[in-house]
Amino acid sequence: MVQLLKKSQQVQARIFGGRFVVNKPVASGATAATAPYSNVFYWSHAVALEDCEFALHPHQGFEIMTFVLEGSVCHFDTASQVWTPLQTGDFQVIQSGSGLQHAEKISAGTRSFQLWFDPDFAQALRQAPAYVDYHDQDFAPVQVQGVTTRTYLGAGSPAHCQTAGLTIRRLAFSAGATMTLPLDPTCAYTMYVLAVTGHLGGAAVQEDDALRIWQEPTVEVAFTDGGELFIVGTPQVLNYAVAWEPRTKAVAP
């Protein structure tokens, strides 16, 4: 099953007086189409039009990842007690566990993702918080037939996470590249279109559209002028109850 989620159908927000613009393909309490699923609680795509700063604020339980698509972010948290700079291609993992606070300084022109996962909230609350950052050079690109893949989480990646069964990849397609992308039919996927227009799963897509896919063994991808996809895969069935909905099976929106 395939569901197209156009940018206009995602949750929209502007904060800091409109200086920080956000669209959210996954968000709690908004619409059925953007509702959390599997162990994915939240996903935002943000663009900083000017320098912005999020003051120190608390988190617990969730595993929170920030991917710097372009630009720079400087991060502080009470687990590491230092300010850590992140540049284009870097990402950070916050395992908030029993609780921490963090702050962020985001430079003008920065484009980033932030995703929240439930690694088993009840168990995570019993663990000490932790923070780790990874850098663009940690992820060697693999090129096959006009498609360049960077695996952030999954087989071959040096990165680790608490959330079981989570895979995250970024695929760049050269002009005219097409492929039948193999999927695990036991997983649910969200694919975010990072650049230009094309066809994904038989649907015409544009930059900042997203596609949710579940119970499918493959998906067809075609970008006439080249393009990029950011792909998150998670189990359809979990062996624990997620924090926001006490049931173990991910339900299609």
| Average pLDDT of the chain, as a whole number | 92
Q: Give the model's pLDDT for residue 146.
A: 87
Residue type, 240: Y
The region of weakest confidence among 69-78, 119-128, 198-207 is: 198-207
Sheet holding 218-222, edge to edge: 178-182, 218-222, 198-200, 203-205
User: What is the percent of the chain where pLDDT is above 90?
Assistant: 80
pTM: 0.92
Task: List all residues 6 or more positions away from 244 whose beta carbon is below 8 Å from its beta carbon.
Answer: 28, 36, 41, 118
pLDDT for 147-169, tens place per residue? 999 999 999 899 999 999 999 99
Structural domains for the chain:
2-235 (2.60.120.10)
Does residue 249 have a pLDDT over 60? no
